[in-house]
Amino acid sequence: MYFPSKVGGKPAWLNPEILPNVADLTCANCQNRLNFLLQLYAPLENKETTFHRTLFIFCCFNGQCHSFPGSIRVFRSQLPKINKYYPASPPKFEDDPDASNEETIDEQEDDPFLAGKLCQVCGQPASQQCSQCRKVRYCCKQHQQFDWKERHKLECPKLKQGEKSEKRIILEGTQYVYKQWEIIVEEDSTDNTKKGEVSDIQREMKEMEKHQNTELTDITGEDLDEIDKMQKVDKQFLKFQKRIKQHPDQVLRYSITREDAAVLWISSQNQINNVPPCEHCGKERVFEMQITPQLIHYLEQDELLDTAIDFGTLVIFTCKDSCDAEGVGYFPEFIWRQMP
């Protein structure tokens, strides 16, 4: 598939020739290579150069870094319909009845623009190679050590003797590569002002007011506990909870038009009001999509570990003009992490 929307696995680079640099794919806090989190194919119809357009999100595998800037990053890549990488008319693919979802073949090795440029573990730009066979490349020492233990220790002597390597299976569900899932994009028919949702929230707020106005002489110990609990309830969290409950498998919310779209904040605290402008053209950034906490479940990580990914929502803002610049394949955009 040329233009997938997916979680985990290796990134399917839209522009296979001009990739992000190493610094942009490195955690600013711990200096480890970022993990590929997800990508969303998000073309825009109002501009020739955004016929193909994908958003890529990367994050540090150490969740303790996520409170620091530069530990979660988003990039925008775009191409016109006529380009040197993809045909103007996409080929027709037939379903393979024998295809299995248990293993994912690494197809990047067959791409003439990407062959020999990417890390064998994570699929990101690589500057190192195995010193023995000189056939396999890596982006960092940690990934090389990991691959040696997992498989390269056995295949290296064969490659060194000139044998052709077999098709490599992407090692999903590991510390460095999340398990791969396809993202199914569907229209959200739920209205922000759905009557049932509003009435539920209003009912809970009235319940809070009733407790707050109760005379002290009428309050029991159980009432005090209930009042304390009610006063701690965040109205915005209730709204978020009610909305997400209608689509419990939803991992992201996307605004196709990027006009008048509102962020569904998970809390009334730690919201951002002043989004920095685009670094390339200076235009304002607008809300385009947000990742919901349901995604954490699909990553299949041990959520009890201190290093596990944790967030309330990740909100992505992109250049309003989706600007272009010669020689730039991936434009950094702005992402905001909000906790509950």
Give the pLDDT confidence of 52-107 residue by residue, as tens digits.
999 999 999 999 999 999 999 999 999 999 999 999 886 665 554 444 444 555 66
Closest CA to 129 of 171, 120, 175: 120
Question: What percent of the chain has pLDDT above 90?
Answer: 57
The winner for highest mean pLDDT among 35-44, 174-183, 202-211 is 35-44
Cα distance between residue 55 and residue 38, in whole Å = 8
> Using an 8 Å Cβ cutoff, are 60 and 30 in contact?
yes
Query: Residue 261: which pLDDT band, with cuts at 50, 70 and 90?
Result: confident
pLDDT in tens, 120-134: 999 999 989 999 998
Q: Which run of H or of E encompasses 209? A: helix 195-212
Residue matched to tokens 């996409």: 90
Query: Residue 196: pLDDT above 50?
Result: no
Residue matched to tokens 């038009």: 257
- Residue 177, Cβ density class (10 Å: 0-12 exposed, 13-18 middle, ≥19 buried): buried
Cα distance between residue 315 and residue 306, in whole Å = 23
pLDDT in tens, 121-168: 999 999 899 999 988 999 999 999 999 999 899 889 988 888 876 667
Contacts of 44 (CB under 8 A, 6+ apart): 50, 53, 322
Query: Residue 114: which pLDDT band, with cuts at 50, 70 and 90?
Result: confident
pLDDT of 92: 65
pLDDT of 296: 92
Average pLDDT, the chain: 84
Q: At what angle do helices 195-212 and 235-245 cross, to 10 degrees?
A: 150
Mean pLDDT of 328-340: 95
The winner for highest mean pLDDT among 73-77, 180-184, 198-202, 212-216 is 73-77
Query: Residue 238: pLDDT above 60?
Result: yes
Cα distance between residue 288 and residue 304, in whole Å = 31
Cα distance between residue 308 and residue 61, in whole Å = 7
3-state secondary structure of 48: helix
Give this prediction's pTM: 0.83
Neighbours of 36 (CB within 10 A): 25
For the chain, helix (H) and strand (E) counts, in that order, are 6, 11
Cα distance between residue 214 and residue 36, in whole Å = 52
